């Protein structure tokens, strides 16, 4: 049972445009959500996080939106740059288990120059 799902395995966007990556979750115990970026043969790199008490968090070009009623979060990248091309993972942590992260399957973002 996949508790965190990223339904789009890949996304292609033109440089300068907005990239929107989506993530759905099923476990209502999740209260902390994170996005990671991963290049091949490297570890995931933390991008941005959001607590369930918020519905939006912004850091530079990256904004994460959380819709608790829909159990959905999204990552917006504006403007997209070729260097953003990577695999993006969303992850969620339950409120009763420290920082144990459940990861989605990832979305490969390709930003075309």
Q: Write out the residues near other proteins by the rule CB under 8 A.
A: 32, 34, 36, 41-46, 49, 51, 89, 91, 93, 97-106
Closest to other proteins by CB, 53 or 113: 53
Closest to other proteins by CB, 27 or 45: 45
Beta bridge partners of 98: none
Find tokens 């043969």 and name the residue: 41
As measured in angstroms, the least distance from the Cβ of 76 to other proteins is 19
Q: Is 28 exposed, middle or buried (0-12, 13-18, 19+ CB in 10 A)?
A: exposed
């Amino acid at each position: 049972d996949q508790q965190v799902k990223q339904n789009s395995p890949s996304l292609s966007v033109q440089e300068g445009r907005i990239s929107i990556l989506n993530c759905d979750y099923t476990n209502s115990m999740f209260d902390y959500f994170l996005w990671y970026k991963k290049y091949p043969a490297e570890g995931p790199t933390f991008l941005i996080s959001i607590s369930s008490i918020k519905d939006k968090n912004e850091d530079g070009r990256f904004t994460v939106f959380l819709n608790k009623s829909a159990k959905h979060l999204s990552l917006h990248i504006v403007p997209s740059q070729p260097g953003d091309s990577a695999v993006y993972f969303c992850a969620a942590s339950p409120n009763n288990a420290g920082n144990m992260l459940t990861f989605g399957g990832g979305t490969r973002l390709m930003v075309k120059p």
